[in-house]
Amino acid sequence: MRLVGFIGPSGTGKSHRALWVARENGLDYIIDDGLLIHDNSIVAGKSAKKAPSKLSSVKVALFQEEDHRKAVRDAILKDQPKGILILGTSDGMVDKIVKVLEIGEISQRIRIEDVASPYEIEQARNTRIKQGKHVIPVPAVQLKKQFSGYFLDPLQLFRRKGKGEFQNIGEKSVVRPTFSYFGNYTISDYAIYQVVNHIITTMPQMEKITRFRTSNGPDGLYIDMDVIMVYGYNLREAIKTAQETLLSELDRFAGFNVNSLNINIKTLVLKKTL
């Protein structure tokens, strides 16, 4: 198994270029900030970007927790990659990663300066420092569960093939972790209720919510509610419309991964209250 280190200081654009560098060097897997990635999908691990502090994010990136380390190592042993691109901020970091995962030794080292110009590196640094944005080289849909309630921006990654031609080499995501802000943030259950209630009460088919329960856990959102519906509309179609609208708006509102959305029609009214 060929192991290649991709090295550069934090915020210089390594994750942004990881997919391209891996493909150019014939590497089918990537290790980046605690995640094992293959074909734009998360195979195993958890993202260091989800950690509550910079110190804890470093521990995740170095696979310091036994369960995390074992899950990634077992996935590598099972899949037997031909080659892995391992991202790190220093030679020492990539060496520590391969040592703790017990997968061999680094055979080649690529520096960020080898694949990015000084201007591009400076632009990446400014984005990290001023906006707190971090790139993860997988589509946003792959991160919904780990980053439910965070702000995710999906972006397509392209490589120039020739004059006027571009090759789509995958999607990456931009996430702003908790530790990149001046302080932590939380989204209260009441704020979630207000979004849901606004959508329900503005639907002509629905009168109001009579009971609302939600659980906003680390893996996503669970919602269960009772609703009064207006007589004369198709019940199944009305519920389907409500669910689709709520899922779309909760995603737009804060990137929620909604695991369960139960709407119970408890009673009917003949006319909607204005």
Closest alpha carbon to 176 in 219, 220, 218, 128: 128
User: Each residue of 178-208: pLDDT tens digit?
Assistant: 555 445 556 778 888 888 999 999 999 999 9
Question: What dotted CATH number matches 189-269?
Answer: 3.30.70.1350
Does the structure show a pLDDT above 50 at 124?
yes
Mean pLDDT for the chain?
81
- Tell me what pLDDT residue 166 has: 41
- Tell me what pLDDT residue 154 has: 46
Report the share of the chain in percent with pLDDT over 70. Answer: 75
| pLDDT confidence tier of residue 20, bands split at 50, 70 and 90 | confident
Q: State residue 267 phi and psi, 5-degree precision.
A: -160, 175
User: Each residue of 215-249: pLDDT tens digit?
Assistant: 877 667 899 999 999 999 999 999 999 999 998 88
- Evaluate if pTM is beyond 0.85: no
Does the structure show a pLDDT above 70 at 161?
no
| Mode of pairing for the β-strands spanning 2-7 and 108-111 | parallel
Taking the mean position of all CA atoms in its chain, how far away is CA 273?
A: 41
Domain spans, the chain: 2-180, 189-269
Would you list the DSSP string of 182-214?
A: SS-----HHHHHHHHHHHHHHSTTEEEEEEEEE
CB atoms within 10 A of CB 71: 17
Does the structure show a pLDDT above 80 at 257?
no
Closest alpha carbon to 58 in 69, 43, 47: 47
User: Each residue of 76-115: pLDDT tens digit?
Assistant: 999 999 999 999 999 999 999 999 999 999 999 999 999 9
- Tell me what pLDDT residue 252 has: 73
User: Each residue of 29-49: pLDDT tens digit?
Assistant: 999 989 998 987 888 998 887
